[in-house]
Amino acid sequence: MSEATVADTRRLNSKPQDLTDAYGPPSNFLEIDVYDPQTIGVGRNRFTTYEVRMKTNLPIFKLKESCVRRRYSDFEWLKNELERDSKIVVPPLPGKALKRQLPFRGDEGIFEESFIEERRAGLEQFINRIAGHPLAQNERCLHMFLQEESIDRNYIPGKV
């Protein structure tokens, strides 16, 4: 019979961490916050916008900090563009809440504060999952969404 081989379980030698390593800036970071929801307009022309703030040191992004206003339909546009042009599995957006849009409701529907906060958190989770994906970071539509004041829906899809 042959001898059983034992796996090598020795630890890799790593250098001790000093205070600069522990508390210095991370080597690569990408932070995206969705906050400050604002409801604009009246009646059927009423909608909510969210501020999307990005900070990064990743070299693929031309701006290291940006802050833009986006509405739910802009997030839908980004999702559709990524599904059409990229090879990544795009996570779902928070729901459309169609029942909340029905007339003659006793509450504010989609403009209810608790709903807006729930949607804001869902949009923040969505954009962070997408932007954290290495393949999505190459997509022109993501860069436009995060860094340009207005979205050119007639842009030519492609890589950055």
| pLDDT in the model for residue 50 | 97
Domain locations along the chain: 19-147
CATH, domain range 19-147:
3.30.1520.10
| pLDDT in the model for residue 25 | 65
Gap between the Cα atoms of 30 and 49, Å rounded: 22
| pLDDT in the model for residue 26 | 64
Q: Are 70 and 42 in contact (CB under 8 A)?
A: no
Which residue numbers in the chain have pLDDT < 70? 1-8, 12, 24-26, 97-109
Total Cβ atoms within 10 A of residue 114: 9
What predicted TM-score, i.e. pTM, was given to this entire model? 0.78
